[in-house]
Structure 1
Amino acid sequence: MRNLKLTVEYDGKRYLGWQRLGDSEKTIQGKIEKVIQQLTGETIEIIGSGRTDAGAHAKGQVANFKTTSTLSEDEFLTLFNRYLPDDIVVKEVVEVPERFHARYNAKGKQYSYYVWNDVVPTAFERYHSFQVVEPLDLAKMEAACEKLVGTHDFLGFSALKKSKKSTERRIDEITITQEGSMLHFTFVGNGFLYKMVRILMGTLIEIGAGRLPLAVIDQVLANKIRSEAGETAPAQGLFLDEVYY
């Protein structure tokens, strides 16, 4: 039995997210599993490094699956990209040790979020960024980012109601870069809770727009109450850039 690791890029605007649901035709996992079944004759469940939300994107999602197929890595790569839709691309196929697990072995992730900060919308990036028309105070948002870096209990910045597992995570870095009207936020950490990046982004935007005070960061980290944080930013601005092993 071989264990194959995939690095996958996708535009999520047509899909209900990564995880296969009842209608597998509308999920990334479902599309890839269907092609694997066509190529190998095997019914296989692929393991992703984590779920991405409906409408979110990935430049470096990682998954693995086990197969008895004798197709080479290059043959798999060619056939995946022949039969998958154009908005799902397998960038790499590598055979890995049998014990490799895309989710359990992940040591960290990098996400990006794009904000189009202009009163005039963008025709090209409308499915890949979130338009905010109010002026944003970058200095305030950067100060908020500094408060978030480190190890904290991020339950209040997640969509989890409660969790038996630890909700403590470590954020190593948050950066903001600007090119014209586009703001690019990068989050690097050892893990992220359900909708955590989108809720952090919604909070940062509201701080930058002056609708929330900077102190809300400390408040939510201390109280762990979701309703005290900002709105959940839309999924179309979110990208999973890379998974670290």
Structure 2
Amino acid sequence: MRNIKIIVQYNGKNYCGWQKQPDSMGIQGNLEYAIEKITGEKVKITGSGRTDAGVHALGQVANFFTESSIPAHRIPDALNSQLPKDISVIYAEEVDMEFHSRYSAKGKRYRYVIHNSRYRNPIVRETSYQVKYDLDVEKMKREAEALKGTHDFFGFMSSGSSVESTVRTITDVNITTEDDMIVMEFEGNGFLYNMVRIISGTLVDIGRGKIKKGMREIIEAKDRKEAGHTAPAHALFLKKVFY
């Protein structure tokens, strides 16, 4: 038996999210189907986390167990021959049997992309959040600094989560601009349900002047009503998982 770790990229537009559902294969189900096609084995693949419907990935990590003798370096091409064009395996390696893509992870980096323009851009429309209002990006950068460190992010979590603790550590926040595109990246040891989307929506609301309070005050309030709107899923990317 071998434990295979893979890195997967996907456009989440047409999927219910990572996890397969009774009426949808999800990214997980498509990968399991492809693995069965190339190995003849029914496997259960484990992802580093469950991206929601519409969310994309540049570096999702997953692992599965197989008795197949296919060399690891040949697995990406073999799987890609069976996968839809909006899912791609870009790397594979054999790892220790104890490796678990979710429980072994030490942290993640997410990217959120904003198209700050009055007019839609047909090229980036499906992978960015169009914000038509003028945004004070420098203010957004200043307020984003308050996110760094260890905080109780209870106010940045959507209802429906059953986590034991809402304390998380954000190690890096980076906001860059090019023309009318704003790219925000957040790195930390873990993220709550919809946390990155709520942080992104809050920064947008701060940038347009809709929210007057500072980010530090919003964090300390630990009240979802004090934070901003939940930014849409289609502009969110899981960029990298750290081990």
Judged with a 3 Å threshold, the aligned counterparts in structure 2 of structure 1 residues 161 and 54 are, in CA distance, closer, same or farther, namely closer
Aligned equivalent of 1:178: 177
C-alpha RMSD of matched pairs (Å): 1.3
Among 230, 233, 236, which residue is 1:232 paired with?
230
**Rounded Cα–Cα distance in structure 2 between residues aligned with 1:206 and 1:176:** 15
**Rounded Cα–Cα distance in structure 1 between residues aligned with 2:141 and 2:218:** 17
| CA offsets 1:135-176 (integer angstroms, 9 cap, x no match) | 000121112101111100111101145645111111111111
**Rounded Cα–Cα distance in structure 2 between residues aligned with 1:33 and 1:174:** 34
Aligned equivalent of 2:3: 3
Shift of 1:11: 0.7
Shift of 1:106: 0.5
Aligned equivalent of 1:18: 18
Is 1:144–2:143 an aligned residue pair? Answer: yes
Aligned equivalent of 1:86: 85
Shift of 1:218: 2.9
Aligned equivalent of 2:188: 189
**Structure 1: stretches of 5+ with no match in the other structure:** none
**Rounded Cα–Cα distance in structure 1 between residues aligned with 2:161 and 2:110:** 24
**Rounded Cα–Cα distance in structure 2 between residues aligned with 1:202 and 1:211:** 11
Q: Is the 8 A contact 2:109 2:239 kept in 1?
A: yes
**Rounded Cα–Cα distance in structure 2 between residues aligned with 1:160 and 1:50:** 18
**Structure 2: stretches of 5+ with no match in the other structure:** none
Q: Is the 8 A contact 2:157 2:193 kept in 1?
A: yes
Shift of 1:221: 2.0
Is 1:73–2:72 an aligned residue pair? Answer: yes
Listed as ranges, the matches of 1:1-245 within 5 Å are: 1-25=1-25, 27-161=26-160, 163-215=162-214, 217-245=215-243
Aligned residues: 243
Shift of 1:72: 1.4
Q: Please, what TM-score do these two structures have when normalized by structure 2?
A: 0.96
**Rounded Cα–Cα distance in structure 2 between residues aligned with 1:52 and 1:124:** 23
Shift of 1:223: 2.8
**Rounded Cα–Cα distance in structure 2 between residues aligned with 1:89 and 1:162:** 30
Amino acid in structure 1 at the alignment position of 2:201: G
Q: Is the 8 A contact 2:175 2:185 kept in 1?
A: yes
Q: Is the 8 A contact 1:57 1:240 kept in 2?
A: yes
Paired-residue identity, %: 48
**Rounded Cα–Cα distance in structure 2 between residues aligned with 1:50 and 1:16:** 14
Aligned with 2:126: secondary structure?
coil
Amino acid in structure 2 at the alignment position of 1:55: G
Q: Is the 8 A contact 1:158 1:194 kept in 2?
A: yes
Shift of 1:183: 0.4
Q: Is the 8 A contact 2:161 2:193 kept in 1?
A: no
Q: Is the 8 A contact 2:201 2:230 kept in 1?
A: yes
Shift of 1:86: 0.8
Shift of 1:74: 2.7
Q: Please, what TM-score do these two structures have when normalized by structure 1?
A: 0.95
| CA offsets 1:73-126 (integer angstroms, 9 cap, x no match) | 133222111110111000001000000000001111111110000001100100
Judged with a 3 Å threshold, the aligned counterparts in structure 2 of structure 1 residues 161 and 81 are, in CA distance, closer, same or farther, namely closer
Shift of 1:23: 2.4
Shift of 1:10: 0.5
Amino acid in structure 2 at the alignment position of 1:19: Q
**Rounded Cα–Cα distance in structure 1 between residues aligned with 2:95 and 2:85:** 26
Judged with a 3 Å threshold, the aligned counterparts in structure 2 of structure 1 residues 161 and 16 are, in CA distance, closer, same or farther, namely closer
